[in-house]
Chain A
Amino acid sequence: MGTRNYKRKTSHSEHGPGDGGRTGSWRVERPVFDRSLCIPCKRNKESCFICWLFCPEIVISRTIPPTVNLEYCKGCGICAEECPTKAITMVDEAQFSEEDKD
């Protein structure tokens, strides 16, 4: 089925995950979380979540531990850059098996 009956004639995106397309398909590096360094994991209570705040794709959950929706994580590394405890490492996608990639 195509887009013939789609309600708009233009590119029109609304607030929500993935309205810019499957941005996860661009990713060359994946954020991997080290729970032993992540503040909310260590304290087992809601705190920090700087990664959640900074992620431009809004794909990090505000949960313990924080999780990433890899369908849309574009691998920009902003979360790793901003994490105050260096709990996030960007790892080459080649390190993951085909199964892991999906």
Chain B
Amino acid sequence: MHIIENGNVAAALGVKLCRANVIAAYPITPQTPLTERLSEYVEAGEMKAEYIPVESEHSALAVCIAASSAGTRVSTATSANGLLYMHEQVQWAAGARLPIVMCVVNRAVGAPWNIWNDQQDSISQRDTGWIQMYCADHQQIIDTVIKAYWLAEKVSIPIMVCYDGYILSHTYMPFDVPDQEQVDAFLPPFRPDYALNPEDPANLNTVTLPDVRMDVHGELAHGYMEIRYLLQEEMRTTLAVAAEAEKRFTEIFGRGGDPYIEPYRCDDAEYVAVGLGSLTYQLRVCVDALRKEGINVGVMGVRFYRPFPDEAIANALKGKKGVIVFEKALSYGYEGALASDLKSALYEHLAYTGALPVVQNFIVGIGGRDIRTEELTQNLKAATQHRVSKEPAWIGLKL
């Protein structure tokens, strides 16, 4: 059924269709309408779920960790400083291999206090062992939530579904809401290998020594290092599982595409703009304008940020003269994290060709600074003509 609604509602509908059984979230702008909507579904009996009110984001994720350990499908959501406050539990959920799906409605982090959109919040959680998926419109939000539950439960790794605050969370767009039967066909009930059970008690994630140990059955059990290695190994194989998720999704719902990247006018492009989230759709307007001027440029959205689809990205950028990375976040003291990751992928996969694309990094929209399409276009154009700067260049800065 096609409806016109905002991005937070798209996310809430996705969670509802996935039949999450426990929801624990603490309201924070711009995520608040999402959790409000979920609480309304529960209150109205439309969702058979426990909505557990908590006093903080740290507790919200702690509740989800406990409920997920007990074998329940869980949902939470947050933004900005709420996500930062969760940070300890974020790492915990990954090490505990719990398939929690969390919507991150991207917002700038303090200080100074700011409620507007950028992506510093989720990017700062890059190294926590969570899968990160980025959405560019409302259809992608609802579809990504549904895919995320399937994928998280398949690989036992939690997932952040990230979408831009306000730009997506509070704007209205038409999108298709799948039927419950379709979602049920796609997503089987959650059946973990082990769920907390008083008949079969266990201590989960207690002190784990540096070395391996014999368990009570006399089997050699992992030490901390093996557990962490497996997280990395299975994060990497998640890329292949994500392709399977996309294929299944496309078969059942009739829409889908490349699971990792979303290229637009890239095939014959000499220069390709790269970014995460809604910014890449705005960049399509710039690409169309520059194409009219005869500049061969395209844009590629990165849908999967962790695990990083290095090979898919490098293949898509092979033979290009330049790559221009636009980011709403950065690793302070160096450059945008996506730019660094992308350069590493290019070096790994293309260095042997002796033809590496030049990479320019732009920082935009920090703390919700207006991203003017004309300004984006001019900067993209400049980057196709000359080296703009070695350091990341900030667009729209009024210093």
| Residues of A participating in the B interface, judged by any CB pair closer than 8 Å | 1-3, 6-22
Contacts and interface: CB of A to CB of B under 8 A. Distances in A.
A19 B204 CA distance: 11
A73 B219 CA distance: 21
Contacts of A10: 95-97, 204-205, 227
A9 B203 contact: no
B267 interface: no
Chain A facing B: main interface SS: loop
A15 B216 contact: yes
Contacts of B217: 14
A1 B218 CA distance: 14
Interface stretch (B49-57, B77-85, B206-214, B304-312): B206-214
Nearest to B220: A3
Contact of B156 (A2, A9, A15, A22): A9
A81 B223 CA distance: 32
Contact of A12 (B156, B194, B224): B194
Contacts of B95: 10
Contacts of A9: 97, 156, 222, 227, 230-231, 234
B212 to A, nearest CB: 6
A8 B96 CA distance: 11
A89 B358 CA distance: 72
Given A8-B194, A14-B216, A19 B222 contact: no
Interface string B71-91: 000000000000000000000
A63 B35 CA distance: 57
B55 to A, nearest CB: 28
A11 B220 contact: no
A62 to B, nearest CB: 19
Contact of B221 (A1, A3, A17): A3
Contacts of A13: 202-203, 206, 215-216
A7 B193 CA distance: 10
A18 B218 CA distance: 10
B202 A12 contact: yes
Nearest to A19: B216
Contacts of B204: 10-12
Given A9-B230, A11-B222, 4 more contacts: A9-B222, A9-B231, A14-B201, A16-B216
A1 to B, nearest CB: 7
B341 interface: no
29 contacts: A1-B220, A2-B220, A3-B221, A3-B226, A6-B219, A6-B220, A6-B226, A8-B193, A8-B221, A9-B156, A9-B222, A9-B230, A10-B97, A11-B206, A11-B224, A12-B194, A12-B202, A12-B204, A13-B203, A14-B202, A14-B216, A14-B217, A17-B216, A19-B203, A19-B213, A19-B215, A20-B209, A21-B208, A22-B209
